[in-house]
Amino acid sequence: MSEPKAPTPAPGDTYKGWLFKWTNYIKGYQRRWFVLSNGLLSYYRTQAEMGHTCRGTINLATANIAVEDSCNFVISNGGTQTYHLKASSEVERQRWITALELAKAKAFRMQAESDDSGDDSTSPGGGQGSGSRNSEVQSTLRTLGSKVEDLSTCNDLIAKHGSALQRSLSELEGVRLGGETSEKIRQVTERATLFRITSNAMINACRDFLALAQAHSKRWQKALQAEREQRVRLEETLEQLAKQHNHLERAFRGATVLPSSQSNPAIDSKGPVPVKGDVSDEDEENEFFDACEDVQEFITVPADPKYHRRSGSNVSGISSELGMDDGTTSLDEQSLGSNPESPQSREVVPVRKRRSRIPDKPNYSLNLWSIMKNCIGKELSKIPMPVNFNEPLSMLQRLSEDLEYYELLDRGAKCQSSLEQMCYVAAFTVSSYSTTVHRTGKPFNPLLGETFELDRVQESGYRSLCEQVSHHPPAAAHHAISERGWTLRQEIALASKFRGKYLSIMPLGSIHCIFEKSNNHYTWKKVTTTVHNIIVGKLWIDQSGEIDVVNHRTGDRCHLKFAPYSYFSRDVARKVTGVVTDKDGKAHYVLSGTWDEKMECSRVMQSSRGGENGTDGRQKTVYQTLKAKELWRKTPLPEGAENMYYFSTLALTLNEPEEGVAPTDSRRRPDQRLMEQGRWEEANAEKQRLEEKQRTVRREREREANHNGSPAEEVKEPADKAEEVEIASEPSETTYKTETLHGSHPPAYSSGHQDNYKPMWFERQVDPRTGEPTHIYRGGYWEAKEQGNWDSCPDIF
């Protein structure tokens, strides 16, 4: 692109041209279009932005201009704004310096000459309102001046008449008359003297008032001029913001958005497209998603009041079953208290007091050199990732945090209607993400064979067990059972994709929830977790994607949509919407809320087509619903959570030492315990020792497998079903996997064979509902705990 020739700067002229402005250490100097006008220096990314988007403005009247070298110079207004600029040549820099100095002198002179009443014409664009108010003040000042002039005239008259009176009295004093007349004259003389003294005092007071009024008049006019200029600048800024708003609205209306059925492939293939309409250079590193007008595929409106007057069981049932009337709490407490299988009725056992705090997170700075020097001469697979990026919990413990709001499943187990039960299961699905909103720390990767038990039978009526069943690819199996009539099991393997600015974590595998009383079997999968600002900026987490919760017995379905964060969206952030339908596709409930705060449920009375069209041309469905009822609300974090890795009340207790747990339990992991205690250097050394020990055990296991005939090759998956490219072949925190999955992708399909490892408490089976190979709990753990017999457990720590 050809450089426009810079004009010769002249006093009062607008000066424009290209300069290089320092932005940050990542991008360095960036080319920007600068405009100098009316004592203000503004800059834009391009010349086309001059009409709608100003990136920054600095007032030269109070600015300091300093030359650094032949091409560089700095403009600062005292600390709040500093521009480091570079010209293309020394001649170009000198032209800019001359123009800036002239503009600064003119701006300073305009401020100094604020006592001139004709300053109204030097500030174009101020508007009629500003001119009229200034005229009013000027009129007041003129009136005050006229009054002072009148006072001065009176002063002159008093002085004149006083002198005349004094002369007359002096002449009268020279006349020789009788004694009584002389006495009268003497009295008049005294009174005239007093009059003169009083007049002189008034004259002095008037003189002081006149001087004071003149001095303050200049000060008032200067303040008035400053206020008028400030108003002009604010009006100009407001006009620019209005233009930007209109421009963004036009861009938003004209944007083409893919339909929801095609959005995922677009995201997977190209990734999110960052918006270019940033407001400043500081926002260039942030990434936003375009707002999708069709995120919400339906519209909800209040139902006709006649539905609220119904007394049938189909309407009142949702209030009682979902706990939406005032008597629900007492009803639940009564049913639990009278349940003969309830743990409170069997025996009175004192509930263990759990800890409510952990040591505060130390404020250790991350020294990159200390990491790099440990990497010299080592293989990529043997480079340890320091615990500075971790939180003192393992992935197995994070998986157990899904049970944070187990009460939703307890209440769902009491429901008579499968559709109402579906609402609770959907709310439970969303609630499992509420603990991740501030949790940017990475959990410890579990060692192969590591376990974690969560026994809450006394407090909550459930117990759960997790085991790391595979390391290549990483996969963990989880089984939880409750005395209140539900079972939860899952096997989760993680696939991650690093896209430069963010990291996408895609959980693979299904989650199963079975209710004993109704034999309803629900399955669903997790959505994608995205960690933003991996390289530069503050880390933040978003959840996006769609979930289908399916009841395999009845055919009921709940479709949940997690809307990705968008800078331009008018909806609330972290929004989740969903519709519960029966096997025929008829909608019965509408769910709405956010995954970090609450979920609500509304019963559908009528549904019809005819809402506003989506971006794909289809008409949205309009649901007439009853008043929304709250299903779930997030429990506030404990006090001081920001210093304790933002752990919830349950997370604070997960790593609390307990007697009688298996020797492979995560609570016994030494590097994790040292990190929790704030001894990070020792934790790093211990973590490296554990990883090296695991590599040694794995090599020995592979050697034995090769000696016995390597059964892993017999069940090797065809290349057209899953292809894996591993950066590192050994287990390590730096191992990333890029997976291209075609068709179905069973989690850890051949995990047990790849590692030649047989899990202790889980066995690999084909799930009868989904047809996916998965690991299912085979029993024996809790019996071994009661007996205190852990002889079969491997020594992994």
pLDDT at 586: 92
- pLDDT bracket for residue 137 (50, 70, 90): low
Q: Give me the torsion for CA of 126, 131, 133, 138, rounded to 10°.
A: 130
Lowest mean pLDDT among 176-190, 244-258, 333-347, 755-769: 333-347
Q: What is the CA angle 138-141-143, rounded to 5? A: 110
pLDDT value of position 331: 33
Cβ-contact 26, 286 below 8 angstroms: no
Q: What is the mean pLDDT of residues 642-665?
A: 93
**pLDDT value, residue 111:** 67
449 exposure class (CB count in 10 Å sphere: 0-12, 13-18, 19+) = buried
Q: What angle do CA 727, 732, 734 make, to 5 degrees?
A: 55
Helix or strand holding residue 281 (H, E): none
DSSP 596-653: TTEEEEEEEEEEEEEEEE-TTSPEEEEEEE---EEEEEPPPPPTTGGGTTT--HHHHH
Higher pLDDT, 376 or 434: 434
- What pLDDT, on a 0 to 100 scale, did the predictor assign at position 322? 46
Q: Is the pLDDT of residue 341 over 80?
A: no
Q: Taking residues 247-270, what's their average pLDDT?
A: 52
**In this structure, how many other beta carbons lie within 10 angstroms of the beta carbon of residue 46?**
10
CA distances from 328 to 17, 311, 317 (A): 71, 17, 11
Query: Is pLDDT at 319 greater than 80 in this prediction?
Result: no
Residue 400: what pLDDT?
A: 95
Give the model's confidence band at 68: pLDDT under 50 very low, under 70 low, under 90 confident, else very high.
confident
User: Is the separation of the CB atoms in 372 and 391 below 8 Å?
Assistant: no
Query: Does the bond joining 265 to the residue before it have cis omega, within 30 degrees of 0?
Result: no
Mean pLDDT of 325-348: 40
Instruction: With cut-offs at 50, 70 and 90, classify the pLDDT of residue 34.
Output: very high
pLDDT class of 744 with cuts at 50, 70, 90: very low
Averaged over 364-391, what is the pLDDT? 66
CA distances to 5, 55, 60, 250, 458 from 49, in Å: 20, 9, 22, 15, 65
Q: In which band, very low, low, confident or very high, does the pLDDT at 254 lie, cut at 50, 70 and 90? A: low
The better pLDDT of the pair 579, 569 is held by 579
Q: Are 765 and 469 in contact (CB under 8 A)?
A: no
Provide the mean pLDDT of the chain: 76
263: confidence class by pLDDT, cuts 50, 70, 90: very low
Say what percent of the chain tops pLDDT 90.
33
**Angle in degrees, CA 458, 464, 469, rounded to 5:** 160
Average pLDDT over residues 65-84: 84
May I ask the CATH class of domain 14-112?
A: mainly beta
Model confidence at 89: pLDDT above 90: no
Domain ranges within the chain, ordered by starting residue:
14-112, 144-173+181-244
pLDDT for 358: 93
Look at 220-229, 360-369, 467-476 and tell me which has the smallest mean pLDDT.
Answer: 360-369
What pLDDT was estimated at residue 581? 95
Is residue 268's pLDDT more than 80? Answer: no
Under the banding of pLDDT at 50, 70 and 90, the label for residue 315 is very low
| Entry field: residues in the chain | 797
Pick 333 or 396 by higher pLDDT.
Answer: 396
Identify the weakest region by mean pLDDT among 109-113, 388-392, 592-596, 742-746: 742-746
Compute how many other C-beta atoms are within 10 angstroms of the C-beta atom of residue 367. 11
Taking residues 546-568, what's their average pLDDT?
92
Residue 302 confidence class, pLDDT cut points 50, 70, 90: low
210 pLDDT exceeds 80? no
pLDDT for 274: 38
Q: Average pLDDT for residues 413-420, to the nearest whole number?
A: 94
Q: List the structure tokens of 58.
A: 């600095």
Asked if residue 321 has pLDDT above 70, the reply is no
Average pLDDT over residues 354-374: 75
> Over pLDDT 70: what percentage of the chain?
68
Query: Per-residue pLDDT tens for 694-736?
Result: 889 888 888 888 887 655 433 333 333 333 333 333 333 433 3
Whether the per-residue pLDDT at 309 is higher than 50: the answer is no
In this prediction, residues 52-56 reach a mean pLDDT of 81
